[in-house]
Structure 1
Amino acid sequence: MELIKVGVIGIGNMGSSHVLTLDQGKIRGAKLTAVCSRNEGRIEWVKNHTTGDVQIFQDEEIFFKEADIDAVIIATPHYSHPALAKKAFAKGLHVLIEKPAGVFTKDVLEMNEDAKISGKVFSIMYNQRANPLYQKIRDLIQAGELGNIKRTNWIVTEAYRPQSYYDSSKWRATWKGEGGGVLLNQALHQLDLWQWTTGLMPKQVRGFSHFGKYHDIEAEDDVTAYVEYENGATGVFITSTGEASGTNRFEIVGELGKIVVENEELTFYRLTQSEREFNATYTGGFGEPEFKKIVVPVTSENGNHSIIIQNWIESIITGSSLLAPGEEGVKALEISNAVYLSSWLNEPVELPIDAELYHEKLQEKINQSTFEKKNVTNRTLDVTGTH
């Protein structure tokens, strides 16, 4: 079988991990043939840590023009994802982008259109979609085991980050460099899973974001968001990088029971009778539907970056379905943009958001910024997979 020749552009934390995965032959049907980075230190790292004949580039234009590749993994800073993806599609390349899809929906929607026109296989590194725990939740909900959803609630505060994390790079948690903080970086996986498992996108969002509350950063490190769905359900999403010890608890309540995910375990509180039916027929005054507590036997796997890469390669070769289609990257981004916009305007916002207004407000944040990091170390962090 002919191998898919893959290039990696961006050799930071995640790009380095993808380089090793490909170079060590962990992805069936693919091989690493080229890398691109502007950073001399990362170029030296590639030379010292790869075993094959890998082309090395420091200029993006030359990379896209001369690299011997069929496909590219884009692992550069956030703002550049859509622009680089569009260049790749124009060159007839298949694309896998790191999350987030971009920083604002305006250029992500343009990227999605270019992907559609190109006909190439486009995926995004939503590796938590490969976690059997969240796949099981999605399966249960799609099978109707919860009935109509009434409420969702996710507390994600186990993404603690010390100041040294933010000091590792000048661009981290700044509006100009990263385009956001905890929502756009650490909690974006949960924002994606929130809508992917339930099948629900909010129709309205009210966001409360606190910027630099616990760290010397410009963007948000503490968020509470309230959402309303088209079917009348409501939801709350709470996240922070400033709480220890943190919590990761996801609840979905439906007419037929409640699903709770915490401590890597899935528990289903299944009602013996629909709550709506019980409410309408019970005559005893005080009372509630009976339930059975079921601990669902499923093993949580939190890494899975290689599964997304493998799925992408297999889709290129065989035409099989993608677990994380790149076009769906706009969904979690839309929620995060809505939370920011609501926080800035101090009012609820409807989805889909006004993409032009959001872009305008973000540019105001960038142009009016006077923030400067005091102790930047320019240090590449551990490449084991955290952002």
Structure 2
Amino acid sequence: MTINIGVIGLGNMGSAHCNWLTDHPEFKLVAVADELAVRLQQFESLPSIRCFDSGSALIKRGGCDAVLIATPHLSHVKLARLALKVGLHVLVEKPIASDIADAEKLLAEPKATGQQLALMFNQRTNPAYQHIRSIITDQRYGRVRRMNWVITDWFRAESYYSSGQWRATWRGEGGGALLNQAPHQLDLLCWLFGRPQSVFADAGFGRWHDIGVEDEVTAILTFASGTTGVFVTSTGEAPGVNRLEIVFESATLVYDTKLKNIEIAELEIPLGEAIKHNKAFQKPRAGLKELSFSDQGGQHQEVLDNFADAIQTGAPLIAPGEAGLDSLMLANALILSGATKKMVTLPISSQRYRRFLRAKMREEPTGQRVIETRVTDLSGSFS
């Protein structure tokens, strides 16, 4: 069965998805939508693809079985809810929404039997993260004592932020790096370790760029299990790193995406025993194990494959809609903590955060930035 699909939003990611869908064996791209006419021009000469100037028009008249939503974040929920109401399958680009109140509305939307709501969390397909998750789940090295994630290879120049009026604004995105660049790592963090119980964040709102939202965050995390962690992200550093360190009871694991390997220092005896029984300065001996992960997995294409399988056979989704709530709540909590300079306990009140976000939107200057509508090269974007 061929699945007729429409893409809503033809910016950077939407255009990339159109390219991937054009050659996909299970999907047929039959409709596209964007409010900017210039982005529709490349499709207007193709008789097999219908063009619309709004997502709602495509949903109602596009002749689709499914839609992929790749619009600015604040429109995700409205479009996804409309698509679900008319019986379409829905795949939403990250994040699911800009605030948890909106996400909760989407997740409360009734779905027919077999109707799919999926999220584009493509980093879950990376074999390295899958391997790390299996180590944690199996408790191969005991419990996780501490995690540290530094993800600073998101460098963005000022021209990036002026490439769309919605970018890096409270009204357009609902936040900055935590809503645009880091959702993948926040999703993986919750997927690997569970949602933190509390956060304390230093957030730089326009620290390195002429924007009002966060472009750098350093946060301390605590988990119900007793695990502690640090999360750092920035769009103002270069070359930057993407490095995850996990300290277990019996090992320390380091995954560096640039080196494409996992190093595990396996302890001869668990830390708890060494602390109790070793001599004063006697560190437990460790053996080094190195695993290569040059293959990054199927990424976006694998999520598309999985979305098709879920529609056709009911296969489990890599990232169902519900998976987006924890990471979004974490992003909201980090922003709130950074703005108030106070520790925030999770779960946070969706209405409290909505009041905060609306206040930020009201306070935001309305001055115009230089706007470029062309699709830019994405080769340096994925981490």
What is the CA–CA distance in structure 2 between the aligned matches of 1:185 and 1:303, rounded to whole Å?
Answer: 21
Larger mean CA deviation between 372-381 and 346-355 belongs to: 372-381
| 8 A Cα contact 1:169 1:379, kept in partner | no
| 8 A Cα contact 2:84 2:111, kept in partner | no
Counterpart amino acid of residue 261 in structure 2: E
Unaligned runs of 5+ in 1: none
| 8 A Cα contact 1:33 1:69, kept in partner | yes
Residue in structure 2 matching 1:266, options 259, 262, 266: 262
Residue in structure 1 matching 2:202, options 208, 211, 216: 208
Residue of structure 1 in register with 2:212 after alignment: 218
What is the CA–CA distance in structure 1 between the aligned matches of 2:228 and 2:344, rounded to whole Å?
Answer: 15
Residue of structure 2 in register with 1:15 after alignment: 14
1:39 aligns with 2:36: yes
What is the CA–CA distance in structure 2 between the aligned matches of 1:60 and 1:165, rounded to whole Å?
Answer: 24
* SS of corresponding position for 1:134: helix
Counterparts of 1:1-387 in structure 2, within 5 Å, are 2-23=1-22, 25=23, 27-47=24-44, 53-114=48-109, 119-198=114-193, 200-262=194-256, 263=258, 264-282=260-278, 284-301=279-296, 304-370=299-365, 372-382=367-377, 386=381
Map Cα deviations across residues 245-292 of structure 1 (whole Å, 9 max, x no partner). Answer: 21211111110111101122211111122111222333x222122211
Counterpart amino acid of residue 360 in structure 2: K
| 8 A Cα contact 1:11 1:75, kept in partner | yes
RMSD: 1.8
Unaligned runs of 5+ in 2: none
* SS of corresponding position for 1:183: helix
Q: Alpha carbons of 1:130 and 1:300: their partners in 2 closer, same or farther (altered >3 Å)?
A: same
Runs of 4 or more consecutive aligned structure 1 residues displaced over 6 Å after TM superposition:
none
Map Cα deviations across residues 346-379 of structure 1 (whole Å, 9 max, x no partner). Answer: 2111111111011101100111112535433333
What is the CA–CA distance in structure 1 between the aligned matches of 2:221 and 2:310, rounded to whole Å?
Answer: 35
Q: CA deviation at 1:131?
A: 1.0
Identity %: 39
What is the CA–CA distance in structure 2 between the aligned matches of 1:127 and 1:201, rounded to whole Å?
Answer: 19
What is the CA–CA distance in structure 1 between the aligned matches of 2:181 and 2:268, rounded to whole Å?
Answer: 38
Counterpart amino acid of residue 317 in structure 1: Q
| 8 A Cα contact 2:87 2:112, kept in partner | no
* SS of corresponding position for 2:4: strand
Count of aligned residue pairs for this structure pair: 380
Q: Alpha carbons of 1:63 and 1:375: their partners in 2 closer, same or farther (altered >3 Å)?
A: closer
TM-score (norm 2): 0.95
TM-score (norm 1): 0.94
What is the CA–CA distance in structure 2 between the aligned matches of 1:269 and 1:315, rounded to whole Å?
Answer: 39
Q: CA deviation at 1:172?
A: 0.6
Map Cα deviations across residues 8-65 of structure 1 (whole Å, 9 max, x no partner). Answer: 1111111111111112x2x2322111111111111102236x6x61121113333222
| 8 A Cα contact 1:151 1:233, kept in partner | yes
